Structure 1
Amino acid sequence: MNQATISKIVKASGVSAGELVLVHFWGEDTDKEIANSFMKAVAYLGASPVLVQQSRSINRDIFLCAKESCFDDRYFDLFSKFDAILDVFAYQPVVLGYSIKDEQMSLYRRYVSQLFYRLMECKRFTQIRIPTEANATESGLATQEYIRRMNNAYDIDYERLRIACEHKVESFAGVQKVSVYTGENCVAHFDLTDRFWHIDAGNGDLPCGEIYIAPNESQTQGAIFFSTLYLENRKYTDVTLRISNGEICDSNYPVLSKYFSDQPRENRIVCEFGIGMNPNVTSLCGYTVLDEKMAGTFHIAVGANNMFGGKNRASNHIDFVGRGKIEVIV
């Protein structure tokens, strides 16, 4: 990822002159130049950057010897002063990657939990995955394919994307119901009454490019056809999912029917309806972070939606991406 792309990302996140911005970097010293590039981009916009590095090797050494008295409220209070957080990760965050004694691991988990609680209180929190070999491993894609796809998804006109997302949301103004036609004879109906659309155009989870909403949880009805569906690292083709009273209840694949029937009710609830808006994501690859942003697609999700206006609390949030015709009912 080059400096020009990083500068576009930082600007799209909303950083402005006079702000105090935390660059919260998950990575080793070998990747620290990435963090430095984000610091430079923040300063260029007239804001003050502060770097906190979460290195697995350094955290291991710290928490091998940390005591109960370490990291009290005074430490975490320091994070309440930031206007924005850029959570940048060169590898999967939180994971320590080393074995330490249980009591020391408990201290580390408590530290991370309290840290994120404070960071999420900030008015802007942006997560940015860096195209690295380590993140490619987590994605399930080959390293070079992952890096290519991610760099393409990041290299967009963010202002144009924001405007396109706003226009798309405006097209749903006053719309209470949406029907989605897929395959030869599948249609699903979503009730959006008193629910609100959200825009992901650079100030949330990157790569970005979608609008999404939490439909009323008990009202989704019908069937949806997916030419390709990915679940638990497996790829299925020509899949139909049937939905009754908001729950996925059946599929033309017995293995998928069993998967959903084995889930608790809250994990079967259709919790999200979204539309991909990123023009540089041009094909599905099985990596949801990219797939759900693909322009010309829609996606649904099952599981939790209480974090974006819904009422369903669940232990999962799984997206499925498809193509179809969207019909609005005012």
Structure 2
Amino acid sequence: MDVDLEEIADKIVNKCMRVEEDEVIIVSGGIHNFELVEDIAVNIKKNGAFPVLRANTERLRKKMTEEVDKDLLEKTPEHMIRWLDDVDGRIGIDSQKDPRILQQLSEEKIGAQRKARKPIQDKINEEKIRWTGIGYPTEEKAEMYGIDYEEFWDMFWKALNVDYDEMMKRGQKIAEPLQEGDEVHITSEKGTDLEFSIGERNIIVDDGIISEEDKESGFVGNNLPCGEVFCAPIEDSANGKAFFDVAFYRGNEIRGIEATFEDGKLVDATAEKNEELFHEVIENAQGDKKRIGELGIGINPEVHRAIGYTITDEKIMGSIHLALGENKMFGGENDSSLHWDLVMLDPSLEVNGEKVMDNGEHLV
């Protein structure tokens, strides 16, 4: 599949972010996808706005983590918080070409870096700075996920190039029963049996477009590929068990996670693979890291299988993901350095006793 990066850059700037004259937009990515960063920057400038470019690499992150002391890594760059007063938006492209390079890094030091970034993320949320987070397929990722590179490439770009207006319509259909309901019950043949409340929390449709309605609701971010309906559950309401099929963390596969929640808090978890890593990630985070933070429903028709790449897995049509940790950015109360999406396949979902999904099939 041929991909026109200039066309995609135009779509990101003008359809998704709707960049306006005199705005300051940070654009970041990796060396391997910097051509897309450049094309986005050109489109921003064509609108009379000002792009600020940043690049990162696995080598830099690895050396920084290994060679810098923990107490220095957890220092927040205060100048960045001040600088954000002049920033209107952020566009971030996945800078990792080969996440496996980061597999053996100290989780304690990763937690320190996450702690340092937390005040910056808080500032972004408080100031309602628009953002778009964009994935990027590479041969190294395909090898890590065990998927043919051409299949990965095609699936990713088809998922990114969906009709955003149709996505919005599909998302609104799924959102309606959630907006009108309160009590959520998720089950699956793999052992999920979880109940929680969503109260009157805002139901958000990630349709790839940051609209005026989104700005009014207070949530001004999206992912590309897009395609999910999500909200912040009432934090102390979740009780039961949830089974998550697969997750990747810094190039490490975590498979078959069975999590138990009591009053919204993760109280026990096992995993078929890399259970120790799962617990290590959580223990080295700060704040409400064990609280349920998100209910998300995938609605992208071009994503057909889970591979471990969260930005596509959570968009699978008929999947559900739950997150641990931070959710203040979209109307919740959890304050944490961690936001970790965990995906379950083929779930059933009821809202106030009405079946909305059945074994991964949408019924509305």
Question: TM-score, normalized by length of structure 2?
Answer: 0.65
Match of 1:33 in 2: 35
Q: Report the residue type matching 2:149 in the other structure.
A: Q
Quick one: which of 142, 149, 153 aligns to 1:144?
Answer: 149
Structure 1 letter corresponding to 2:202? F
2:304 to 277, 282, 305: 282
1:276 deviation in Å?
0.7
Contact 1:249–1:257 (Cα < 8 Å) also in 2:
no
2:335 is equivalent to residue 316 of structure 1: no
Match 1:190 to one of 165, 180, 196 = 196
Residue 229 of structure 1 corresponds to which residue in structure 2?
246
Q: Is the 8 A contact 1:86 1:128 kept in 2?
A: no
Contact map agreement 2:22 2:50 (CA 8 A) in 1: no
Q: How far is 1:143 from its partner?
A: 8.3
Does the Cα contact within 8 Å between 2:41 and 2:51 map onto a contact in 1? yes
Deviation at 1:187, TM superposition (A): 2.5
> C-alpha displacement at 1:164, in angstroms?
1.7
Aligned partners of 2:23 and 2:50 also within 8 Å: yes
Deviation for aligned residue 1:11: 3.5
Task: Provide the residue aligned with 1:181 in structure 2.
Answer: 187
| Residue 250 to residue 259, structure 1, CA distance change in 2 (3 Å) | farther
SS at match of 1:126: strand
Partner of 2:160: 154
Q: 2:91 aligns with which of 87, 90, 94?
A: 87
2:233 aligned with 1:210, yes or no?
no
Please list the CA deviations of residues 87-131 of structure 1 after superposition, one character each: whole Å capped at 9, or x if unmatched.
2436249xxx9xxxxxxxxxxx9x999987876646422222343
Aligned partner (choices 314, 318, 321) of residue 299 of structure 1? 321
Asked if residue 163 in structure 1 is aligned to residue 169 in structure 2, the reply is: yes
- How many residue pairs were aligned? 299
Kindly tell me: are residues 139 and 89 of structure 1, through their superposed partners in 2, closer, same or farther at Cα, counting changes over 3 Å? farther
The alpha-carbon deviation at position 327 of structure 1 amounts to 1.0
Q: Which moved more, 1:216-225 or 1:177-186?
A: 177-186
Aligned amino acid, residue 54 of structure 2: Q
Identity %: 24
| Contact 2:248–2:309 (8 Å) recurs in 1 | no
Structure 1 residue aligned with 2:10, among 4, 7, 11? 7
Alpha-carbon distance change, 90 to 252 in structure 1, aligned in 2, over 3 angstroms: closer
Query: Which 5+ residue runs of structure 1 have no aligned equivalent?
Result: 61-70, 98-108
1:197-254 CA-to-partner distances (Å, cap 9, x unmatched) read: 222222423222111111111111122344x2336423434x5433221123345758
CA contact (8 A) 1:200 1:211 kept: yes
Whole-Å Cα distance in 2 between the matches of residues 31 and 261 of structure 1? Answer: 32
CA distance in 1, matches of 2:136, 2:171: 24
* Structure 2 CA distance for partners of 1:10 and 1:138, relative to 1, 3 Å: farther
CA distance in 1, matches of 2:296, 2:191: 21
Task: Please give the residue correspondences for 1:232-251 in structure 2 after superposition, counting only pairs within 5 Å.
Answer: 232=249, 233-237=252-256, 240-250=258-268
Query: 2: CA distance between counterparts of 1:122 and 1:154?
Result: 24
Cα displacement (A) at 1:291? 0.7
Aligned CA-pair RMSD: 4.3
Work out which of the two has the higher radius of gyration on C-alpha atoms and give 1 or 2: 1
Cα pair 2:55 2:95 within 8 Å, conserved: no
Name the SS for the 1:196 alignment partner: coil
Which runs of 5 or more residues in structure 2 are unaligned? 61-76, 102-113, 211-221, 354-364
Task: Indicate the SS of the match to 1:26.
Answer: strand
- Say if 1:114 and 1:51 are closer, same or farther in 2 by CA, change over 3 A: farther
Task: Tell me if the contact between 2:27 and 2:41 (Cα under 8 Å) persists in the aligned partners.
Answer: no
Equivalent residue number for residue 351 of structure 2: 328
Q: TM-score, normalised by structure 1?
A: 0.71
Q: Secondary structure at the match of 2:288?
A: helix
Structure 1 distance, partners of 2:118, 2:235, is: 29
CA offsets 1:129-176 (integer angstroms, 9 cap, x no match): 343568x38985668264333223212111111222223222322311
